[in-house]
Structure 1
Amino acid sequence: MTFAKKALILGTLAALGTGATASAQNTLNGAGATFPAPFYQRAFADLASKGVQVNYQSVGSGAGVRQFVAGTVDFGATDEPIKASEAAKVKRGVVQFPAVGGTIAVAFNKADCKGLKLSQKQVADIFLGSITSWDQLKCGKGKLTVAHRSDGSGTTFAFTSSLSAFSPAWKGKVGAGKSVNWPVGVGGKGNEGVSGILQNTPGSIGYINQAFVRGNIKAAAIQNKDGNFVLPNLKSGAAALNNIVLDGNLAGEDFNPAGAGSYPISTLTWI
């Protein structure tokens, strides 16, 4: 089985359980990314049956790294690898590893829009505010409402990094980061907050972890580097993540991966 598929399915959370047992510690406290939170919550529930209690606060990658650096949690979770400048502040030392991977869906709530397909340029133009109506996408009618993250977010870092790879206009006007100056849209805290906006706002579109695509929220098929329109799922995410080469610090990213079946907005997330 490839590394990417292992990351998508299993993660490496057993390492946390081993560390806790070795230090005779019954409880671990962590905080960070909302992107992998559904997976972590289930995995940590399984660890509880083995006598290890893990308390995880889904507060966003930026807050998770800050809490880890400050020493208020045992581990931080982030969708962007920890920076050398941040790691240098941690006197107790830092070990990071990619725990799980997944896809970031361009998700929407539009009952009369079936099978939405978006080019990379269209995705960037939506978040630049150049596309303002569903008529322009030829998928229903009416005003288009953009939803984005309001907090410092590794999901935002990965998403805006992909937009920068997709569009010179986005790269020049907005760029990539955990927080950016959004040209348009309504902000929500965490993947949960953006998902809530989408659920409650017909005609809205935003970006969320694939795990939050449910109910009246649907995912668009995005055109990849090879020209194919691909939906976010396990297979397309694994195809994309297999293109990522990790460095000596187990960090690595590819924000527009090649491959006929690759979903173009895919990311690893680290502990």
Structure 2
Amino acid sequence: MKKTVIAAGLLMLAMGAAQAQHLTGAGATFPYPIYSKWFSEYSQAHPGVEINYQPIGSGGGITQVAKGTVDFGASDMPMKDEQLASSPVKLVHIPTVLGAVVPIFNVTGVQDLKLGPDVLAEIYMNKITTWNDPRIAKDNPGVNLPNDRIVVVHRSDGSGTTFIWTDYLSKVSKDWNDGPGKGTSINWPVGIGGKGNENVASLVRQNPGAIGYVELIYALQNKINFGQVKNASGKWLKASIDGVTAAAATAKIPADYRVSITNAPGDNSYPISSFTYLLIPAKSANAANAKVLHDMLSWIIKSGESEASNLSYAPLPQSLQDQVLKTIYSLQ
């Protein structure tokens, strides 16, 4: 009898292991705080489902999902036509939330700064090198700016956050557009590199005189000052959920969701805003994993969106949520 009970127990464990689903994903650090929360909550609500997501940067996420080494990728940069065409796996973009990239700074005695588009471009092109430069002082009357050298910090890995930042700079600065340009990885004219949003935040925090760029939640969580940016209407804005939502409201969303909303028009539009995406195979070789993945995506849109603002992301507009659900249901 004892042997029978043990055998039955072992059989149940084996069946449970066989039924367990393990999803793997990799990519963007920009949405990692909200993805980490979502994946944990989904796993808790669905016993037997494990989701392992590695925040290695958008470039790595695109590479891995295209090769089929992960079940899904993540990127803040929409894939280019040539990337989609050359991918061995046909991929679909699923927008999840919207977020803001902010210029963070560590300037002695300064808590708030206005950082215009021309100033940001020239700092990152090594044309403005000290914090008391007249061009910075002009936008910040009454602020006691020190004669400290600016320490420029950028991403060292292939990064969607870098794409958003450089996409913005390319729109507001001809010199930047004609020079370094935009991309997940570029040849930086100056600066030190950090891997991931977290490391960029850490480098800025540790280096007096530093400036960097991170997704809003990383500035808030690390209690790092971030500047006001002048938008396309000439208004100075600090990043906020409302500012990101306003930027998204101006966008004409194509059927495949690949769109840039940096430097969007409108008085209330925060200018360095972006969608972020999960990259999903249109047809999966693993039917069981695909079923769980598609169910998870539906859960994110139906239940997860309501949690986005708690982590300083903007949820997708309701009309877009409805359209994204139709796309998810069409996946095989």
TM-score (norm 2): 0.72
Report the counterpart of residue 263 of structure 1 in structure 2.
270
Question: Out of 226, 234, 243, which is 2:241 matched to?
Answer: 234
Q: For residue 128 of structure 1, report the CA deviation from its aligned partner.
A: 0.9
Matched, 1:160 2:166: yes
Counterpart CA distance in 1 for 2:256 and 2:89 is 17
Structure with max Cα Rg: 2
Alignment of 1:19-168 (within 5 A): 26-51=21-46, 52-136=49-133, 137-138=136-137, 139=143, 140-141=145-146, 142-168=148-174
Corresponding letter in the other structure for 2:169:
L
| CA offsets 1:173-200 (integer angstroms, 9 cap, x no match) | 1111111111111110111111110111
Residue 216 of structure 1, CA deviation:
4.7
Q: Sequence identity of aligned pairs in percent?
A: 38
Alpha carbons 2:153, 2:203 under 8 Å: kept: yes
> What secondary structure does 1:135 align onto?
coil
Instruction: Letter of the 1:207 partner, please give it.
Output: Y
Give the Cα–Cα distance (whole angstroms) in 1 for the partners of residues 165 and 253 of structure 2. 19
Distance 1:92 1:127 in 2: 36
Query: How many angstroms does 1:90 deviate by?
Result: 4.5
Q: Which runs of 5+ in 2 are unaligned?
A: 1-18, 138-142, 279-332
Higher mean C-alpha deviation, range 226-235 or range 244-253: 244-253
Q: Could you give the per-residue CA deviations for residues 212-264 of structure 1, whole angstroms, max 9, x where no partner exists?
A: 11345111000001111000111111111222222121211122101111110
**Equivalent residue for 2:330?**
none
Q: In structure 2, what residue type is equivalent to 1:147? A: V
CA contact (8 A) 1:110 1:203 kept: yes
Aligned partners of 1:208 and 1:158: how far apart in 2? 10
Deviates more, 1:159-168 or 1:77-86: 77-86
Q: 1:230 to 1:114 in 2, by over 3 A?
A: same
For residues 51 and 86 of structure 2, the distance between their equivalents in structure 1, rounded to whole angstroms, comes to 24
Aligned to 2:253: 246
Contact 1:253/1:267 (<8 A) preserved: yes
Instruction: Assess if the C-alpha contact under 8 Å between 1:109 and 1:216 holds in 2.
Output: no
Structure number having the greater helix percentage: 2
Aligned length: 248
Conservation of the 8 A alpha-carbon contact between 1:199 and 1:216: no
User: Which residue identity is paired with 1:169?
Assistant: D
Q: Which amino acid aligns with 2:54?
A: Q
Contact 1:245 1:253 in 2 (8 A): no
Could you tell me how far 1:25 is from its partner in structure 2?
6.0
> Taking structure 1 as the reference length, what is the TM-score of the superposition?
0.87
Q: Deviations over 1:55-94 (max 9, x none)?
A: 1100000000100011110000001112333333455532
Unaligned runs of at least 5 residues, structure 1: 1-23
Q: Aligned to 1:270, what secondary structure does the other structure show?
A: strand
